[in-house]
Amino acid sequence: MLNIGVLVSGGGTNLQAIINAIESGYLNNCRITTVVSSRKDVYAMKRAQNHGIPAVYLSKKGKSTEEYDHLLIEHLEQHHVELVVLAGFMCILGDDFNRKYENRAINIHPALIPAFCGTGFYGIKPHVKALEYGVKITGATVHFVELQTDAGPIILQKAVEVRDDDTAETLQKRVMEEAEWKILPEAIKLISEGRIVIDGRRVKIRC
Ligand code: GRF
């Protein structure tokens, strides 16, 4: 059984996709042992509670990155977490967290990295920028977490077509539905089955 800790800061639709994948049996050897929110009273915490998953609010306010790293590490260790999933988590993590969870923490980003990613590209921003640039294809990426934002080796990507009548909001919704909610559980499944091989920057998938 793979123990997963999910870090959230918002609505938690990606958390819900993981919960659904566990409950449907798609992720048959995984369980979420804790959900951590960096924001108080977000809907993601309610989603966890609705499914009997312990959820806590760990505020970064007044803490250095190092202090917050240690608080998180201690909490994740208490819950025997083996894989950390950043699902819309809005805090920057530091060296200590990254060292501790090297190749054991993944993030979902709503664009095809290396496009529309990095500092400042959160929330609706990647979609606004994708429309401004005029790309015809965007999508989502699941990657391992590294110190630099959105920088670690890519595990899975899925493309989504941009339509002429898209607004940032319609594009955001479609990227979630068609890409994020699919590739995040899929990446977790691959990891839980030990099918991921990291070869430098390249992530290879064993059959
Ligand atoms: C998603 O678009 C995810 O890709 C990004 O933050 C958003 C979180 O949405 N990192 P939700 O809280 O999972 O609904």
DSSP conformation class of 160 = E
- For the segment 172-189, what is each residue's pLDDT rounded down to a tens digit? 999 999 999 999 999 999
Provide the pLDDT for residue 142. 98
Tell me how far the alpha carbon of residue 127 is from its chain's centroid: 17
In whole angstroms, give the CA distance from residue 80 to residue 82.
Answer: 6
174: Cβ below 6 Å to ligand 1? no
Summarised one tens digit per residue, pLDDT across range 132-180 is 999 999 999 999 999 998 899 999 999 999 999 999 999 999 999 999 9
Question: Which amino acid is present at 45?
Answer: M
Instruction: Please report the pLDDT score of residue 129 as a whole number.
Output: 98
List Cβ<8 Å contacts ≥24 apart for 143-147. Answer: 143/106, 143/107, 143/109, 143/113, 144/103, 144/105, 144/106, 144/107, 144/198, 144/203, 145/84, 145/86, 145/93, 145/98, 145/101, 145/105, 145/106, 145/107, 146/98, 147/94, 147/95, 147/98
Distance 100 CA to ligand 1 centre (A): 24
* Mean pLDDT of the residues in the chain: 97
- List pLDDT tens digits, range 112-134: 999 999 999 999 999 999 999 99
pTM over 0.75: yes
Mean pLDDT across 96-107: 97
Measured in whole angstroms, how far is the alpha carbon of residue 113 from the centre of its chain? 14
pLDDT reported for residue 146:
94
Residue 90: the pLDDT is: 95
CA angle 160, 163, 167 (to 5 degrees): 100
- From 8, 9, 13, mutation site for ligand 1 pocket: most ligand atoms within 8 A of C-beta: 13
Neighbour tally for 147: CB within 10 Å:
13
Tell me the backbone φ, ψ of residue 112, rounded to 5 degrees: -90, 95
